[in-house]
Copies of this chain bind each other. A is one copy, B any other.
Amino acid sequence: MVNGFECPIPISDYDRITLAHGGGGRLTHRLISQLFLHLFDNEYLRPLHDGAVLEMDGKMAVSTDGFVVSPIFFPGGNIGDLAVNGTLNDVAMCGAKPLYITLGFILEEGFRLKDLWEILVSIKKRSDEAGVKVITGDTKVVERGKGDGIYVHTTGFGRVLEGVEIGPHRVRPGDRIILSGPIAEHGIAIMSVREGLEFETPLKSDTMNLWPLVESILKAGKEDVHMLRDATRGGVASALNEIAKSAGAGIVIREEEIPVRDEVRGACEILGLDPLYVANEGKFIAIVSPERADELLDILRGVPGGEEARIIGEVVEESPGVVQMITAFGSRRVVDMLSGEQLPRIC
């Protein structure tokens, strides 16, 4: 029994994935019908056809994402939580209410069936919370040593809210930059496990569904939200750089406005990491019109997960494509894109 879900096939600690689970025969069929269909049963999945057929209309947002996080289980979640939240958040960043998700697994021979069940239960919980249906899936198995337990690929779909248009072309000088909360928690949670660090307050991943936050500001000011981006791989620094480059605009942020929890800052110092470049899985940046910025900030702060949102800077005319930070000492420095790899396999 995991989180209230009983697995329909009895699983012992010794049951493991075999190559035959990916062969398209009897064992694949059993895995799909007894585990996947049992948990995710809905009208789209039930026919177990090669694909799902669904009615769509209007502007749909589609996003695809692969998850290779190591370790697979970490403080605050597992690869299943990340896969659902991460993909649906990308859909949300298009201004779209997430509706459907597809699941693809690459399993390594020898992976524990118990662990797979626990991940599937997390996927079930996160997708139920988000009101999202799993519509189709795929499972492949590779030989021992050719994978790393489990890799997950998800594609999410959602309907863009009426009248909403999110994109770099809408970013204008003067726009304010809202950050939805304190940064670097996901990356540090993963790194502290890998490095065997222990803290008084355990550091947990911030993985969460961002749609309720996004929806709150879109409903209050659909014209005033110009651009959205979650600050995942490469952290806030990379997300801001991508916005600056795609919008052809300059960005100036103030270091003292960027929230970082003390224990996260401490861990960053020990690990030699700059929190601006560390991955988040439950934080986003919204570029909004200056006239409504304070009001939208207040709304965001009223939604769970947005309590510590801040206006961290603004869009400027000078230095298009460049992100600058006014440091705590009042000097300016360029916040460049991450070059090289800081934290492999963070998501």
A48 touches B246 (CB 8 A): yes
A138 touches B65 (CB 8 A): yes
Q: In residues 26-66 of chain A, which contact B (Cβ within 8 Å)?
A: 26-29, 47-66
B135 touches A62 (CB 8 A): yes
Which residues of chain B have C-beta atoms less than 8 A from A59's C-beta?
A: 53-55
Known: A66-B153, A104-B66, A141-B344. A50 touches B337 (CB 8 A): no
Which residues of chain B have C-beta atoms less than 8 A from A342's C-beta?
A: 23, 25
Q: How far is the CA of A282 from the CA of B135 in the complex (A)?
A: 25
A153 touches B27 (CB 8 A): no
Which residues of chain B have C-beta atoms less than 8 A from A314's C-beta?
A: none
Of the 9-residue stretches A119-127, A172-180, A230-238, which lies at the interface with chain B? A230-238
Q: How far is the CA of A9 from the CA of B59 in the complex (A)?
A: 35
Closest to A155 in B: B155
Q: How far is the CA of A252 from the CA of B228 in the complex (A)?
A: 56
Q: How far is the CA of A56 from the CA of B61 in the complex (A)?
A: 10
Is A7 close to B, CB under 8 A? no
Query: In the complex, which of the residues B20, B54, B90, B138 contacts A51, with contact meaning CB atoms closer than 8 Å?
Result: B90
B24 touches A234 (CB 8 A): yes
Closest to A157 in B: B62
Q: Could you give, for residues 154-169 of chain A, a 1 whenever the CB lies within 8 Å of some chain B CB and a 0 otherwise? A: 0111001000001110
Closest to A153 in B: B153
Is A102 close to B, CB under 8 A? yes
Query: In the complex, which of the residues B48, B60, B100, B337 contacts A53, with contact meaning CB atoms closer than 8 Å?
Result: B60
Which residues of chain B have C-beta atoms less than 8 A from A89's C-beta?
A: 50
Is A201 close to B, CB under 8 A? no
Min C-beta distance of A136 to chain B, whole Å:
6
Is A192 close to B, CB under 8 A? no
B25 touches A142 (CB 8 A): no
Q: How far is the CA of A157 from the CA of B29 in the complex (A)?
A: 24
A337 touches B26 (CB 8 A): yes
Which residues of chain B have C-beta atoms less than 8 A from A56's C-beta?
A: 56-58, 60
Q: How far is the CA of A337 from the CA of B103 in the complex (A)?
A: 24
Is A263 close to B, CB under 8 A? no
Which residues of chain B have C-beta atoms less than 8 A from A53's C-beta?
A: 59-62, 94, 96, 160
Min C-beta distance of A280 to chain B, whole Å:
12
Is A222 close to B, CB under 8 A? no
B50 touches A229 (CB 8 A): yes
Is A255 close to B, CB under 8 A? no
Which residues of chain B have C-beta atoms less than 8 A from A48's C-beta?
A: 242, 246
Is A194 close to B, CB under 8 A? no
6 further interface pairs, Cβ-Cβ under 8 Å (given A27-B340, A49-B168, A53-B61): A23-B342, A26-B339, A54-B59, A64-B153, A66-B138, A68-B106
**28 A-B contacts (beta carbon < 8 Å):** A23-B233, A25-B234, A25-B238, A25-B341, A26-B339, A47-B167, A48-B246, A49-B167, A49-B168, A50-B63, A50-B89, A50-B93, A50-B229, A52-B61, A53-B60, A53-B160, A55-B58, A55-B60, A63-B136, A64-B103, A64-B155, A65-B104, A66-B104, A66-B139, A66-B140, A68-B140, A145-B145, A146-B147
